[in-house]
Amino acid sequence: EIVLTQSPGSLSLSPGERATLSCRASQNVGRNFLAWFQQKPGQAPRLLIHAATRRATGIPDKFSGSGSGTDFTLTISRLEPEDFAVYHCHQYASSPLTFGGGTQVEIK
Amino acid sequence: EVQLVESGGGLVQPGGSLRLSCAGAGSSFSTFWMGWVRQAPGKGLEWVAFIKKDGSEKYYLDSIAGRFTISRDNAERSVYLQMNTLRAEDTAVYYCVGGSGWLEDHWGQGTLVTVSS
């Protein structure tokens, strides 16, 4: 099983600032099948990034993904009020599929 | 594009059973892998099970294997999760998910399952 560790657990930032979220895998994620989801309270997760770097349909370019192998990063270039949420990384390369513990991005 | 709507959640006693249903609206349903992801209150996401487009392959989280069964009916555009021998730790919002591969790019709004006496 691939264990995903996200850091930090929470991030306190101001609107306009840049957010950098990390996701580390316990072993190589095949074909870089690593995704990022955004989740707001009471809502289902929304896909932002797949295959480590590809934005999902309709996702603005302030969201970007990078990394390969075991180390991945989600960057939000300039935080807007609607970006304050929980972000989950997820590997879909091998069963069991697994998620990281999440990073809460909070308004400072 | 597929819209997913779950039903069947509720309160059940430990050891009991529940069957979740997910109705898919959209012509792509039969081309999608379908599955379930759950989220315990205040916790992170946990993948539960997946079923291939034609139902020929199924994958399960170890902790629910033997207790939960995933199935689908493409004619009805539906996927199901039969949950038996439920435990308190199965309490969660269960999301129906789907995609052309293993990536879950379609999500329902979720249905809450509470296991408690």
- pLDDT tens-digit profile of B25-56? 988 899 999 999 999 999 999 999 999 999 99
pLDDT band, residue A40 (cuts 50/70/90)? very high
**Are A97 and A89 in contact, with CB atoms under 8 Å apart?**
no
Give alpha helix (H) positions in chain B.
none
Give strand ranges (E) for chain B. Answer: 3-7, 10-12, 18-25, 33-39, 45-51, 58-60, 68-73, 78-83, 92-99, 106-107, 111-115
Q: What is the pLDDT of residues B45-97, one digit of tens each?
A: 999 999 999 999 999 999 998 999 999 999 999 999 999 999 999 999 999 99
Phi, psi torsion values for B60, nearest 5 degrees: -135, 150
Strand A34-39 and strand A46-50: the pairing is antiparallel
Q: Which two tokens stand for residue A8?
A: 């930090």
Q: Is B107 in Cβ contact with A46 (below 8 Å)?
A: yes
What distance, in Å, lies between the first and last C-alpha atoms of chain B? 40
Partner-chain residue, chosen from B62, B101, B110, that has the shortest CB–CB distance to A96: B62
Contact list in B for residue A45 (CB cut-off 8 A) is 45, 95, 107
Q: Is B62 in Cβ contact with A88 (below 8 Å)?
A: no
Mean pLDDT score, A83-99: 97
pLDDT of B1 above 80: no
- pLDDT score recorded for residue B2: 85
For chain B, the average pLDDT equals 95
Distance, CA of B41 to CA of B82 (rounded, Å): 21
For residue B58, the chain A residue with the least C-alpha distance is A95
Among the residue ranges A23-27, A73-77, B28-32, the one predicted with the least confidence is B28-32
Q: Is B62 in Cβ contact with A99 (below 8 Å)?
A: no
Q: Which two tokens stand for residue A1?
A: 């099983």
